[in-house]
Structure 1
Amino acid sequence: MNLLFILLSGNPSTFWTADPGQDSVILMLAILLLIVMIFIGVVALYLVVILRKVVAPAPASISKPVDSRSFWQRMAGLHALNQEKDLMMEHGYDGIQELDNPTPPWFMGLFYGTIAFGIVYLLLFHVLNVGDLQTAEYTQEVAIAEKQREMYIQKVAGSINENTVALVKDAKMLETGKTVFLQNCVACHGPQGQGGVGPNLTDEFWLHGGSVKAVFHTITEGVPEKGMMAWKKQLNPLQIQQVASYILSLQGSKPDGAKEPQGVRETASLSAEEVTKQ
Structure 2
Amino acid sequence: MNSHPTPPPDQNGPALRPHIYDGIQEFDQRLPNWWLNTLYGAIAFSIVFWFAHMIAKILPTDGARVDAAMAQIAAAKMASSIDVTNDQLFWDMSANPVFTEAGKATVNSLCVACHLASLKGKGENPGAVGPDLTDTAWIHGGTPKEIYATLKSGVLAKGMPAWEPVLGQKKTAEVVAYLLSHHKQGEPITVEIAK
TM interval, shorter chain, is 0.3 to 0.5
**TM superposition score normalised by structure 1:** 0.34
Question: Which has the larger helix fraction?
Answer: 1
Higher-Rg member (1/2): 1
Q: Greater relative contact order (Cα 8 A, min sep 6): structure 1 or 2?
A: 2
